[in-house]
């Protein structure tokens, strides 16, 4: 009994592979469309997970980053100093004021050159590109570290307003400043992601539906002959389900490999080290996340086969 079922299953797979071989061009086209759909699904999943992970890091983030304005030696007061010395004096004055704030643990200054060296150190793979950029074009940064006991939205908002009122400060970055915007963006990403996911899922079902329907129409005479000699509907349909399942699995694997390759290129050039300066940690999909998209991929192939074959069987 078991051996008979194994033989049946073996025959089903042989028929499925014969169907795939009989329409290589059509199957490759369907595979490419489905791979693109699954890649977009995986990419949206990866983006959402990293945004959400970044949101969770807000509570642990105890740093604030200040971008200083580029100064020009135009007025008479500034003319007494060269640009480098003047920038150092400005940064030193700001740092001395910041150190007086309650709850400040440490303050670190990055000049144009230090910012340039930081980029060279943390992104060595693009060193040749960075070498063509003058250090003067890199921002001057002051990084503030706070005691964890003082981290709160009200405290940081107060520090933010005090810093914004100072001269020569262009922009102040800290995670809680972006918290509401990130929350809105996460909600927006969920809605858009769901719409895109549904659209791509339906398109994958349609592609699978079209591929199987073409097989049924092309082999309609053979199917009629099989029915006449006593073949059951399941005997005819099961290889089609196997074919769509194989196509969905291959399309999913290709899309996952592509996403993983792009992610590793990002890591290879060490862009993640640069983002780590801003407390942004880039992570890849977990096995559970991959399984969810895999299940969606497999389901799209099964549904496509079901809708295309139910009119004929």
Domain termination site, one of 173, 192, 213: 173
Both 142 and 190 in one domain: the answer is no
Both 151 and 197 in one domain: the answer is no
Which pLDDT score, from 0 to 100, does residue 296 have? 87
Answer with the residue of higher pLDDT: 302 or 276: 302
3-state secondary structure of 9: helix
pLDDT digits 0-9 by tens, 215-265: 777 777 777 776 777 777 777 788 888 888 888 888 899 999 999 998 888
pLDDT digits 0-9 by tens, 134-156: 887 888 888 888 887 777 777 77
For range 187-207, the mean pLDDT: 80
pLDDT digits 0-9 by tens, 281-293: 778 888 888 898 8
CA–CA separation, 289 vs 292, rounded Å? Answer: 5
**Considering Cα of 47, then 49, then 52, then 57, what sign does the dihedral take?**
negative
Task: Provide the residue count of the chain.
Answer: 313
Question: Is 46:284 a contact under the CB 8 Å cutoff?
Answer: yes
Could you tell me where the DSSP H helices lie in 58-152?
Answer: 76-79, 83-99, 112-122, 127-130
Both 258 and 123 in one domain: the answer is no
Both 51 and 200 in one domain: the answer is yes
Range of the domain at 233: 2-57+180-309
Q: Quickly tell me which residue has 């051996």 as its tokens.
A: 3
pLDDT digits 0-9 by tens, 55-111: 666 555 667 888 888 765 454 444 444 666 777 888 888 888 888 888 888 898 888
Lowest mean pLDDT of 40-49, 74-83, 174-183, 300-309, name the range. 74-83
């Amino acid at each position: 009994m078991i051996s008979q079922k194994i033989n049946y299953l073996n025959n089903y797979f042989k028929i499925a592979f014969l169907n795939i071989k009989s329409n290589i061009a059509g199957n490759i086209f369907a595979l490419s469309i489905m791979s693109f759909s699954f890649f977009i699904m995986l990419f949206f999943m990866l983006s959402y997970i990293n945004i959400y992970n970044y949101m969770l890091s807000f509570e642990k983030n105890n740093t604030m980053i200040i971008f200083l304005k580029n100064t020009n030696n135009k007025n008479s007061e500034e003319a007494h100093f060269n640009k480098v010395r003047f920038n150092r004096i400005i940064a030193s004055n700001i740092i001395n004021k910041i150190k007086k704030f309650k709850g400040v643990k440490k303050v670190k200054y990055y000049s144009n050159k230090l910012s340039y060296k930081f980029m060279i150190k943390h992104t060595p793979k693009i060193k040749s590109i960075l070498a063509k950029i003058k250090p003067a074009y890199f921002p001057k940064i002051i990084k503030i570290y706070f005691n964890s006991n003082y981290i709160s939205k009200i405290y940081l908002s107060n520090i933010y307003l005090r810093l914004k009122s100072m001269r020569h400060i262009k922009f102040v970055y800290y995670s809680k400043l972006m918290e509401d915007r990130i929350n809105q963006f996460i909600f927006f990403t969920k809605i858009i992601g769901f719409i895109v996911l549904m659209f791509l899922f339906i398109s994958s079902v349609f592609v699978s539906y079209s591929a199987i329907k073409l097989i049924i129409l092309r082999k309609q005479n053979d199917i009629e002959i099989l029915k006449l000699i006593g073949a059951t509907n399941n005997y005819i349909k099961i290889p089609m389900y196997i074919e769509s399942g194989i196509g969905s699995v291959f399309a999913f694997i290709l899309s996952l490999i592509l996403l993983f390759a792009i992610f590793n290129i990002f890591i290879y050039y060490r862009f993640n080290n640069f983002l780590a300066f801003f407390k942004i940690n880039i992570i890849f999909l977990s096995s559970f996340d991959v399984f969810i998209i895999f299940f969606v991929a497999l389901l799209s192939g099964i549904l496509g086969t079901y809708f295309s074959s139910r009119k004929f069987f």
